[in-house]
Structure 1
Amino acid sequence: MADTIADLIAPHPDDAPALGAPGRGWMDYGALRALSGYVHTALRAAGVGPEDRVAIVLPNGPEMAAAFVTIAQAATTAPLNPAYREEEFAFYLEDLGARAIVVAADYDGPALAAAGRFGLTVLRLAADPEAPAGSFSLSPEGETTSAPEGTPGARDVALILHTSGTTSRPKIVPLLHANIAASARNVAASLDLTARDRCLNIMPLFHIHGLIAALTGSFAAGGSIACAPGFDALRFFGWLREARPSWYTAVPTMHQAILARAPRNAEAIAEAPLRFLRSSSSSLPGPVMTRLAETFGAPVVEAYGMTEAAHQMCCNPIRPGAQKPGAVGLPAGPEVRIADEIEDRLIDGTGEVVISGPNVTPGYEGNPEANAKNFFEDGGKRWFRTGDQGAFDDEGYLTLTGRLKEIINRGGEKISPLEVDGVLSDHPAVAQAVTFALPHPKLGEDVAAAIVLAEGAEATEREIRDFAAARLAEFKVPRKVLILDEIPKGATGKLQRIGLAAKLGLAEDA
């Protein structure tokens, strides 16, 4: 049983491909294991011990993937978004107590100034574009003192990420090697992954989705990962031709952007050996799932994950026709139940989704108040509150009705923004829709929606509201519909409901 990241990559043949990238040769598993040994030695020589924390600030691509996998076998990794500004880097580096930071050999950005505030060891990563994808060397800046030996085990922290902090200070989520190994096995099992499978990764590798679903999930099965330099809808179909993946995983906004360009790339789609498409990190509107499946001629598997679960909790079955549009699937690894939203007890019906299992974080770091609020005991098990509201149907599929913080309370009427999203997405002119709370002087909140129209399509606010009114109860129909060129998104491409009214200048107008 694989209990560490090293265990995940240990059993595969030396010459089996592991990491690739557009225009690059493949790194095999033998080379990846050799790189892991080199990185272990380099870190110890640079004064980084097995319990030290290493921030990684690298662009998306095979070197970022290889850096995460190899450094995690020797220390604790903390991937950070390269787009942060100096003050943001300073906050995260101080909050996680980083000992060192890894940056590209030619990097001269704000992370360096932030690292200088705390005296971090700077490790320069150099990659040869002619070498196999993912190959690199590490060089420390300045004088260093060697660190004691030691290899992290199953109960040691492999990865530290922060929650998004949409409505409060970001919380530190430590994930053990055992958490990651368990989740990687869950992903591989739920998708029937084998060594023949190849994933095209377009997800950012400072986020749990890409790190676990695409990367370590593939490693658990001995598969290969083609690492794109980020998401670019214009370049996606070229990568599809070159990498010839059997699957890719993305957030709904990425799928929608790909879908918008699909008609002019029919040949690339016809040639692609895609076995399935995977969607996670936010709810995929049912109509979008249906259009994707029809366009690519492959099942679209929606999964449900979050950082505290080392990503995956539920997943739609992989077999064709077993996916339910609008549902996030069946429990896929951890136990998944429904709890009372206030009292610490499990219930039937609709309530807060809770999970328990070996992939779940042992708890937030240095935050006893958050742990007391989000974990509870029932039936001899420790349950984590996800903050999502949902219910199971008669076949055991989980459907989410929204984040509890995002449920719109219109004068006492509770409205699921996901339900309204689904209806709006069914309009033939709508490419993207996000429903959110609009402050209201009497009702407290009302319903609003931001819309991006499909390329070449036309529709008015009145037409879209009339379309919704024919399919929804009157109190659920958006009072205001904004037609935009682009909807504001977070760093990982997820649509942000909380605070969207203010971002769009609507809070003052209510």
Structure 2
Amino acid sequence: MTNAENHPDLSRRLVAGADDAPAILAPDRPTLTHGGLRELITATANQLHALGIGRNDRVAIVLPNGPEMATAFVAVVATASTAPLNPAYRADELDFYLTDIGAKAILVGADEAGPAVVVAERLGIGVLRLIVPAGAPAGTFTIEGKPVGPRAAPEMAEDSDIALLLHTSGTTSRPKLVPLSHANVAASAGHIGATLGLGAHDRCLNIMPLFHIHGLIAAVLSSLASGGSIYCTPGFNALRFFQWLGDAKPSWYTAVPTMHQAILPRAARNEEVLAAAALRFIRSSSASLPAQVMAELEKTFGCPVIESYGMTEAAHQMASNRLPPGQRKPGSVGASAGPEVAVMAPEGKLLDAGETGEIVIRGPNVTSGYEKNPDANVTAFAHGWFHTGDQGVLDADGYLRVTGRLKEIINRGGEKISPLEVDDVLMDHPAVAQVVTFAMPHDKLGEEVAAAVVLREGMAASESDIRTYAATRLADFKVPRKVLILDEIPKGATGKLQRIGLAAKLGL
């Protein structure tokens, strides 16, 4: 009996479908079944144990988006702790992340010779190579490399073991390291599957990066744990999205709002694919979805758009709108969808519906604490709840509206302004396709309101047009004093618009 078969519940929980059911698909590749993926988990466990990698050893995965990145995460996580890293990181970034994680080995592509390998070798971290056999089903691989220690005990991971290590985005400070246990990620995958009614018939088209919690848990793990399948693309590409939609025949896809906004203008040129598409729903998460974009997506694709609210520390999902006949409220991130969700005053009092405060959560998917960061833990876990750093308000139905990151609220001479409120107004301007409102330094007021805007194709508007429009809808102190009209707004690695630091990036 092989090692993974001694512990069949873990591979069955991660990959729950029938032996012959499709699990992993990719452009121009044969399909890998759930049975084949479970065999891959077993084979990977045996290879890792022979190479000296076992329970709670940390393996950084630096691979491009695609089927092998998805299966490497699932297969390695069954044995060891995984830390997926952005392949675009430069040497100094890799040095920080690999050191902070305490990686014992790094898993890279067969021919990788870039900074990941150079830095790992300099730090004395074992380099393991992922080999893809010619003509093999999507996601199939073997691992080659020199042993990083004596043969490890033939054990599979347990619920309390760390499954996943990810850093927060760290826009204002040193990134914090978030350890998520197997119990955390299993709970979150289960919450997402239950919220979306996922089953064996469902197929997710994944366009999210797989070094990010959204793609790993919402797309990959929730699909496999519910017995469904996932079509793994090389990463987001608005020009290829409709081709993939036609080839994959998915029942859903999940993305960040900027991706949805890039897809919409191309819909008119892909009417045949749209007519043949049979999406059951579209999911949006990781940033606020403008109500206008939600309406346009529903009209274009003829299916409900489910906006959800997630963060790394919660192994992704915290709240979500519901599929029909449940409620979905434009501008809301939905009701609790797994953990308990509440709104708290600064002194720790839980607030009633309609009162604005900090969003706090607690539940089985929430990390037990940042690693090597006791100061952050004291603040983040005060009063028995995890503090998200987001400001929001619950309505009478228990549906949550996020009014902004506490750090992103603009303080204009003592007047507090939610950038999301300004975004929402500017998005109603007929010429505006995308907007991000942010704080710009001001010598007397401390901060002033600024907005970066991308116009719709073929439409025109000046800075004064947009400011005049805002002035008819917003109190004077909320009207942006500066509007920058850009071809593209700078984004983070996961496609999210980032308010913090934008003024400096744009030279304000």
Alignment of 1:230 onto 2:232 = no
Match for residue 430 of structure 2 among 422, 428, 431: 428
CA deviation vs aligned residue, 1:298-326 (integer Å, no higher than 9, x gap): 11110000000000000011116832111
Match for residue 395 of structure 1 among 397, 401, 412: 397
* Residue 7 to residue 178, structure 1, CA distance change in 2 (3 Å): farther
CA contact (8 A) 2:16 2:34 kept: no
> How many Å separate the matches in 2 of 1:7 and 1:171?
32
Match for residue 372 of structure 1 among 368, 374, 378: 378
Give the letter aligned to residue 386 of structure 2.
Answer: F
Match for residue 71 of structure 1 among 60, 67, 76: 76
Alignment of 1:273 onto 2:278 = yes
RMSD across aligned C-alpha pairs, in angstroms? 1.5
Q: 1:488 aligns to what?
A: 490
> How many Å separate the matches in 2 of 1:416 and 1:318?
28
Alignment of 1:100 onto 2:125 = no
Give the letter aligned to residue 277 of structure 2.
Answer: A
> How many Å separate the matches in 1 of 2:14 and 2:186?
11
> How many Å separate the matches in 2 of 1:143 and 1:366?
25
* Residue 494 to residue 4, structure 1, CA distance change in 2 (3 Å): farther
Q: 1:472 aligns to what?
A: 474
Alignment of 1:443 onto 2:445 = yes
Alignment of 1:206 onto 2:211 = yes
> How many Å separate the matches in 2 of 1:147 and 1:321?
49
* Residue 143 to residue 397, structure 1, CA distance change in 2 (3 Å): closer
> How many Å separate the matches in 2 of 1:347 and 1:102?
46
Alignment of 1:181 onto 2:186 = yes
> How many Å separate the matches in 2 of 1:255 and 1:4?
37
> How many Å separate the matches in 2 of 1:7 and 1:351?
41
CA deviation vs aligned residue, 1:83-121 (integer Å, no higher than 9, x gap): 000111111000010000000001111001110122111
> How many Å separate the matches in 2 of 1:195 and 1:11?
9
* Residue 129 to residue 300, structure 1, CA distance change in 2 (3 Å): farther
Give the letter aligned to residue 127 of structure 1.
Answer: V
Among the aligned pairs, what percent are the same residue?
64
Match for residue 358 of structure 2 among 352, 356, 380: 352
Alignment of 1:131 onto 2:133 = no
CA contact (8 A) 1:315 1:330 kept: yes
The count of residues paired between Structure 1 and Structure 2 equals 500
CA contact (8 A) 1:105 1:126 kept: yes
Q: 1:318 aligns to what?
A: 323
CA contact (8 A) 1:103 1:125 kept: yes
Q: 2:124 aligns to what?
A: 119
* Residue 480 to residue 22, structure 1, CA distance change in 2 (3 Å): same
Q: Secondary structure at the match of 1:90?
A: helix
Offset of residue 3 of structure 1: 12
Q: Secondary structure at the match of 1:234?
A: coil
Of 455-464 and 138-147, the range deviating more from structure 2: 138-147
CA contact (8 A) 1:4 1:177 kept: no
* Residue 82 to residue 4, structure 1, CA distance change in 2 (3 Å): farther
Alignment of 1:282 onto 2:287 = yes
> How many Å separate the matches in 2 of 1:462 and 1:75?
56
Offset of residue 5 of structure 1: 5.3
Q: Secondary structure at the match of 1:77?
A: strand
Q: Secondary structure at the match of 1:239?
A: helix
* Residue 214 to residue 181, structure 1, CA distance change in 2 (3 Å): same
> How many Å separate the matches in 1 of 2:14 and 2:379?
36
Offset of residue 297 of structure 1: 0.7
Offset of residue 16 of structure 1: 0.5
> How many Å separate the matches in 2 of 1:11 and 1:446?
52
CA contact (8 A) 1:73 1:151 kept: yes
Offset of residue 439 of structure 1: 0.8
> How many Å separate the matches in 2 of 1:399 and 1:447?
22
Unaligned runs of 5+ in 1: none
Q: Secondary structure at the match of 1:147?
A: coil
TM (norm. structure 2) is 0.96
Of 433-442 and 122-131, the range deviating more from structure 2: 122-131
CA contact (8 A) 2:16 2:226 kept: no
Give the letter aligned to residue 356 of structure 1.
Answer: R
Offset of residue 336 of structure 1: 0.0
> How many Å separate the matches in 2 of 1:445 and 1:453?
25
CA deviation vs aligned residue, 1:381-430 (integer Å, no higher than 9, x gap): x3100000000112221001000000011111111111111111121211
* Residue 417 to residue 320, structure 1, CA distance change in 2 (3 Å): farther
Offset of residue 70 of structure 1: 0.4
Q: Secondary structure at the match of 2:408?
A: coil
> How many Å separate the matches in 1 of 2:133 and 2:460?
48
Q: Secondary structure at the match of 1:423?
A: helix
Unaligned runs of 5+ in 2: 1-6
> How many Å separate the matches in 2 of 1:7 and 1:456?
52
**4+ runs deviating over 3 angstroms:** 2-5, 141-145
> How many Å separate the matches in 2 of 1:196 and 1:383?
37
Q: Secondary structure at the match of 2:240?
A: helix
Of 168-177 and 318-327, the range deviating more from structure 2: 318-327
> How many Å separate the matches in 1 of 2:341 and 2:406?
17
Alignment of 1:19 onto 2:21 = no
